[in-house]
Amino acid sequence: MHWMPDTSAGEWLRERLDSPGNATVHTVVPHGFPAYARILHPAIVRSLPDRPVPTYDDYDRMTAADQQSILDRFVDRPSTWAEAASVFGTTLHPLAQWSRIVRTPPDGDWTARLSPDGREFTAPIEGFLSAEMVATIATHLVSYTRTPDAGVVALWEGTGGLLGHLGHRPSRSFLSVGDDPNHRAMLDRSIRDPLNNAFRTHTWQEGILSREISEGPRFTLPDRDHVLFRGDVSAFARADWILDVPWRDREGEAHGFEPSAQSPSILWPDDHAWVMVSDVDADSTIVAGSPELIAELCADAQLEAFPISEGARLTWDADEVNR
């Protein structure tokens, strides 16, 4: 997979988008496909320790289900929207909105909500898919294109640390527990001193991608700029795809983090048989393609996916069922 300084490969997509003022999915997802699917991003549920912890003897006498219930109180785990809807007494449907699913009051915080049974539900992450979820979706995608070995992936440029820049602050920093406290205090003072920063000489601050790519052309969509890469789209069907992409975060790994890479913001094959869009401000991923592809995605038990119509609205007030 390699960087594309020529961004003309995305022109077909730009021409099929609506203006930003339009309230439909087509501000980010192209018109003209026979079918569309909405794939919901998982939420997180945390069971809160609101009761005394049982003794070992009491725990041993519990049923397996009760033991798991105790363990669930201390462990964050992925949650489906269906689980949240069941707990909050709302209805899951193709155009459901998370804030309505968890019964957020006017001016309330929808990102973290306590359910009637005492658990805390954290909203789905916007604009990001786990490596495993990308692979699950891509497993279906590659069967519905004549060019599985050739396509384009677009990465939204705004992800922290992806690009380098000219400035006086690094794109990101890695501070370990053992860092010298005096040095850390000095860094804190520097970060909080905008007057001095304004007069510092700007130097190149490295990002995950090279300076050539960081300063190179962008594939520009309304309110969104992307870096393009060309390569084998079927590679994303592998669970370990993050190990081979050029934007793998190797510096993070050098500081002890697990291998990671930004998930595709937009992905399409050369024959334009389908397109997958994970917009930075969206809690769901949209796939446009053939009716057969959409049916297959929606039937996959590993995904929480629904068919939606062309022109569907997914704005915060589009959920007319859960009002």
pTM of the entire structure? Answer: 0.84
Residue 68's pLDDT band, with cuts at 50, 70 and 90, is confident
Q: Residue 313: name the closest of 3, 19, 5, 27 by CA.
A: 27
Q: How many CB atoms lie within 10 A of CB 76?
A: 12
**Spatial CB neighbours of 145, under 8 Å, sequence gap ≥ 6:** 151, 233, 269, 271, 273, 274
pLDDT at 22 over 90: no
Half-sphere exposure of residue 178, counting CA atoms within 13 Å on the CB side?
1
Pair 102, 111: CB distance under 8 Å? no
Per-residue pLDDT tens digits for 94-113: 999 999 999 999 889 999 99
The residue type at 83: E
Q: Can you spell out the DSSP letters for 185-232?
A: HHHHHHHT-HHHHTTSPPEEE--SS-HHHHTS--EEETTEEEEEEEE-
Q: Give the pLDDT band of residue 186 (cuts 50, 70, 90).
A: very low
Hey, what are 200's tokens?
């510092």
* CB 183, CB 190: distance < 8 Å: no
Give pLDDT, residue 177. 42
Phi and psi at 183, nearest 5°, equal: -65, -40
Residue carrying the six token digits 């006017």 = 106
Sequence ranges of the domains in the chain: 2-41+127-160+207-308, 43-122
Average pLDDT for 250-267 = 94
Which tens digit of pLDDT belongs to each residue from 301-314?
999 999 999 999 99
